[in-house]
Amino acid sequence: METGLWPVGSLRPDDRARFAAYDRWRAFYDGEQWTGRPLRGETRLTFNYARALTRKIASYVYSGPVRFSVLPNGADDAIANRAEIALGQAVRVNGLDQLDLDLCIAASVLGDAAVKVTWDARLARPVVVAVEPDGLTVGTAGDDPRRVDRLAHGYWLMGEQLEPVLGARIDGWQPGKRYRVIETWTDAAWTVAVDGSLVQDGPNPYGWIPYVIAVNNHGNGRFWGESDLVDLVDVCRELNGRMSVLARVLEMSGAPIAVLENVDGSEGIAVGPGAKWELPEGAKAYLLDLLQGGGVGLHVQYIDLLYRALHDLSETPRTAFGDSGRALSGAALEVEIQPLVQKVRRKRQGWEAFHRERNRRILDLLERYGGAQLSGLRETETIWPSVLPSDIDGSVRNAVALVQSGIQSRRTAYASLGGTDPEGEQSRVVEESSSRGAEM
């Protein structure tokens, strides 16, 4: 018997718990942040700071296009430059700048993100596509819980998609019918099963598993990551609740409640401009003032505390939204936004590892199947854009000082500033200098 995507008994308990957590985090990110059924007439407002903060942090991590420097490792610089150009072209063709930003958001929400890197013979180029992490299960090495030695990828295909996607003829397929496909990869083997029937069983054509998983907030001894929303759930729900209560109070104050004493009924009593009431002797009438006594001020103070907790827990000061609330110098602003800068740098360390593995696969495909002469160069270094605008001037000054002191080459300095063609740029600089000398 089978249920869902995975056959019964094929998932470990931790995988089932992980998939369930993905569903909860997606729902919370999409705004489903209240618990229980609403009461009759209850106002439920949702201020989706979970989504706003996640996008904000991702926009700081990938504050601009990322560039990659291919490490020569003893090879000629011209070969490393050629490898960088080929890698840069693969990045542009696959739209990896936008994909990296999307993956950063997905990993922050779910805790994990993944891509599949393969060679497309028809397009004659590497193809990098995003993969939903709840379609993946992994087996790790016994001596290294972070090293994947077996990966299964499950997904659905319509009957007419089977042969074009899998590249194999599937007997008896029906158009319009949905089929479950499970690919299983190791470094040595690759198998594909369609609705439990094996249609591919042979050697791995790449020699490595063509998946790279980005893990958010990696914990010791744990392969899968953790969502950034873990610490924000309670404060977001409380903020929604308090704001809804305050909205209800203000709404009722705008249409006040009439209180009558010593009357048998309320016929003919209407609240509105120019309204006149005729009350029996001894009766009293007044409007209930919910704003009396400073109660609203207490609500506002509590909401301000919730905002502070929200920014503290997310490590995203209000300054990141362009409003510090007071006049500060440039140095003071940088100090105030330092928690976000530290968080961004921490995240970038994890994404550097992801880039290295993805780029290694792309370069290997370019040389083995694309005919690029790269002399086996596979290692790359990520050149990140500046987190803050003031960082750009400092990076330029540092690069100039390192070149002038002989500590760093011009090629390395140019690559560190985001250049994609150091050799070509150096040739143009020499050419312009020669032209100016000839004119003088």
Q: Are 326 and 248 in contact (CB under 8 A)?
A: no
Count CB neighbours of 221 within 10 A.
7
pLDDT band at 440, cuts 50/70/90? Answer: low
The single-letter code of the amino acid at 287 is L
DSSP tally for the chain: helices H, then strands E: 12, 12
CA atoms of 161 and 355, how far apart (whole Å): 30
**Residue 161 CB-density burial (10 A; 0-12 exposed, 13-18 middle, 19+ buried):** middle
Counted residue by residue, the chain has a size of 440
Contact 108, 232 (CB under 8 A): no
Give the whole-angstrom CA distance, residue 326 versus residue 191.
61
* pLDDT at residue number 10: 82
Q: Is the pLDDT of residue 101 over 60?
A: yes
For the stretch 204-248, pLDDT in tens is 999 999 999 999 987 666 889 999 999 999 999 999 999 998 888
Residues 56, 53: Cα–Cα separation, whole Å: 5
Sign of CA dihedral 166, 169, 171, 174: positive
Give 56-89 pLDDT, tens digit per residue: 999 999 998 899 999 988 888 889 999 999 999 9
- pLDDT higher than 60, residue 3: no
Task: Flag whether pLDDT at 382 surpasses 90.
Answer: yes
Task: Kindly give, in sequence order, each residue whose CB lies less than 8 Å from that of residue 87, ignoring residues fewer than 6 positions away.
Answer: 68, 70, 359, 362, 363, 366, 380
Distance, CA of 96 to chain centre: 13
Which DSSP string corresponds to 273-311? TT------TT-EEEEE-TTTTSHHHHHHHHHHHHHHHHH
Give helix 233-254 / helix 49-61 axis angle, nearest 10°.
130
The alpha carbon of 292 is separated from its chain's Cα centroid by a whole number of angstroms, namely: 46
CA distance 44 to 300: 18
Give just the sign of the alpha carbon dihedral 241, 246, 247, 251: positive
Does 329 score more than 60 pLDDT?
no
On average, the pLDDT of the chain sits at 84
Q: For residue 164, what are the contacts with CB-CB under 8 A and spacing of at least 6?
A: none
> Is residue 153 classed as helix, strand or coil in its secondary structure?
strand
pTM, two decimal places = 0.80
Distance CA 387, CA 59 (A): 10
95-129: string of b/e by CB count within 10 Å (b at 16+)?
Answer: ebeebbbebbbbbbbbbbbbbbbbbeeeeebbbbe
The partner residues of 130 in beta bridges, in order of sequence, read 115
Distance linking the first and last C-alpha atoms of the chain: 85
pLDDT by residue (tens digit) across 124-179?
A: 999 999 999 999 999 988 778 888 999 999 999 999 998 888 887 888 888 889 99
**Element containing residue 227 per DSSP (H, E):** none
Residue pLDDT, tens place only, 401-433: 777 777 777 766 666 665 656 666 667 676 676
